Amino acid sequence: MSISPQGPELRPLDVRPFVQYGQPHLYLRDPLQLSDRVVVLPRYLGALLLLCDGTRAADSLRAELLTRFGLPVSADIVARVLSVLDEAFLLNNDHFRAAQARRLQDYRAAPFRPPALAGQSYPAAAGDLFRLLNDYLEGASEVEPASPPGRGLLSPHIDYARGGPVYAQVWKRAAETARTADLAILFGTDHFSDRLINLTRQHYATPYGVLPTDQAIVDELADALGPDMAFGGELRHRTEHSLELVLVWLHHLRAGKPITVIPILTGSFAHFVQGDQRPQDDPTLQAVLDTLRRATAGRRTLVVASGDLAHIGPAFGGEPVDAGGRSALQAADAELMRLMGQGDAEGFFGAIRRVRDRNNVCGVSPVYLTLRYLESAQGEAFGYDHCPADEAGASLVSVCGMTFA
């Protein structure tokens, strides 16, 4: 087992509570999917995970579990948990970094990024996918494609099973824009990264074929940002779903015809929300926007924000959502949608910052950057829904669609 000199440090993970055989457990999922191992722990060992922050030596964890949490955990259990975490590459150490480097090398050597969710979140066969998305579009019979074409849109990135009707409404409205564009910039939420920007030169594939990445513009962005800032989190593209799920719709609306894309993953704005800095003053974001505007000038460019709205309830660490909570959420979302519709990037961010993002809006960064790129373009909402996020109906994700003229 490889433990850093500072002590075991857990990487950013997707940790989900669940009940197995009547007992509470935690399911640990690696967003990078470096290992096929499934790690499940009794929920009381969540305290051990909290202590694995790189500041404590491994041999001190057992004593702190007892003094801080009142948990008498044997040395053997602590050692076994740390060993399992290490074997699954869930600790930030040399073992993990070597596995990450191998995966990145394989990712870059491939001819394209294969669709990670094909056969899981949507059909892998092009014909089956065509029928599924067309069924959703036929259900949006009240929506007509915008004419003349617009400049951009906000799309959900929740799974199609829950968000399909909202996807269909906004993409049907943006159909002509999708068909006539010759370049698409995509800002997608990077759910488990604190890096502001993650680029890739890799092409993206869907079941309809390959969408080529504009590597020249990506290289211009990398020159402006520096290689580490641009590509330090590139491997996140391999498994992150936010870009893939909107690219499938874009490719579908183009009847399988390719379009050149610029896929950009955008990380958390938590430090802006909680601190004194503002995204409008950030030099990295400004460099991205300046470079994109210069590189895309004169082109028929579609810009897409891939983002959902609120994530509330026990599934996200909150209280169960009742009817009053749903009404309050709808009012809060309506205010965000009003500001988006006005093209007001700073107002949109300010509304989230004022409440310290208490509704866990996961589309903050892609929406903000899209609004900044479009420079006050007016938007129109198409579709809004509350999607269940647990079996009890006590948690939900809110989603909407919007097109920008």
pLDDT tens digits along 106-154: 999 999 999 999 999 999 999 999 999 999 999 999 999 888 888 999 9
Label residue 369 by pLDDT band (50, 70, 90).
very high
The answer to which of 8-12, 142-146, 308-312, 362-366 has the lowest mean pLDDT is 142-146
Q: What is the pLDDT of residues 292-328, one digit of tens each?
A: 999 999 999 999 999 999 999 998 989 999 999 999 9
Six-digit token pair at 96? 């993990």
pLDDT tens sequence across 35-74 = 988 899 999 999 999 999 999 998 899 999 999 999 999 9
Residue 16 has what pLDDT?
86
Domain 115-404: which CATH number of 3.40.190.10, 3.40.50.720, 3.40.830.10, 3.30.500.10: 3.40.830.10
Helices (H), 5-125: 46-51, 61-69, 75-87, 94-109
Task: Give the span between the Cα atoms of 260 and 319, in whole angstroms.
Answer: 43
Assign 1 a pLDDT band (cuts: 50, 70, 90). low
The domain segmentation of the chain, as residue ranges, is 14-103, 115-404
22 vs 257, more confident: 257
Would the pLDDT of 6 be above 80? no
| Predicted pLDDT at 45 | 96
Are the C-beta atoms of residues 365 and 371 closer than 8 Å to each other?
Answer: no
Residue 372: strand, helix, or coil: helix
- Asked whether the predicted pLDDT for residue 3 surpasses 90, the reply is no
In 265-314, which ranges are continuous DSSP H helix?
270-274, 283-296
pLDDT of residue 152: 96
> 231-264 pLDDT, tens per residue?
999 999 999 999 999 999 999 999 999 999 999 9
CA-nearest of 398, 120, 365 to 239 is 120
pLDDT at 5: 52
> What token pair was written down for 112?
């394209």
Residues 307, 373, 206, 209, Cα dihedral to 10°? 170
Is pLDDT above 80 for 2? no
Rounded Cα gap, residues 332 and 338, in angstroms = 10
Residues in contact with 45: Cβ distance below 8 Å, sequence separation at least 6, in sequence order: 26, 73, 77, 81
Compute the mean pLDDT over every residue in the chain, rounded to the nearest whole number.
95
pLDDT (0 to 100) of residue 4: 53
Residue 264 is given by DSSP the state: E
